[in-house]
Amino acid sequence: MENNRIISSLCYFSIFFAGFILPLIVWLVIKDTEVRYHAKSALLSHLLLYVPLLIGGLALVLFGFLNYDSSPPGDLMAIVSIVFVIFIALFSLAIVIWNIYRGIKVLNNEEAA
């Protein structure tokens, strides 16, 4: 059981060194239901980092095309870009903190699936 807790915890901590690859591999290879639960949870939280990047990137591209003919497009685009970058930074920080919290909680055996 100690190995299962370490593997489950590593899935959360892999946000620092392996991204979504380690939780995906653990989720596909390991057969223990508790480890699979934590691997899937870590995988989803790691993939959440890409959602605002995709949505925001598409929005900025579309906004750039729609605002192309206006006279001062640079000012508004700069403000939207800065706000978006701040949002992504805060969102990413929250996800990293959440993964650290969950990894420590699993490692200390305070949480079961």
Establish if 21 belongs to a structural domain. Answer: yes
Establish if 38 belongs to a structural domain. Answer: yes
* Tally of domains in the chain: 1
Establish if 113 belongs to a structural domain. Answer: no
Q: Report the candidate in 103, 95, 98 with the shortest Cα–Cα distance to residue 11.
A: 103
Q: What is the 3-state secondary structure (H, E, C) of the chain?
A: CHHHHHHHHHHHHCCCCCCCHHHHHHHHHCCCHHHHHHHHHHHHHHHCCHHHHHHHHHHHHHHHHHCCCCCCHHHHHHHHHHHHHHHHHHHHHHHHHHHHHHHHHHHCCCCCC
Establish if 112 belongs to a structural domain. Answer: no
pTM: 0.79
Encoding tokens for residue 55?
A: 């949505």
Establish if 40 belongs to a structural domain. Answer: yes
The domain of 85 spans 2-107
Write out pLDDT tens, residues 65-82: 666 655 555 667 777 778
Is the pLDDT assigned to residue 41 strictly greater than 90? yes
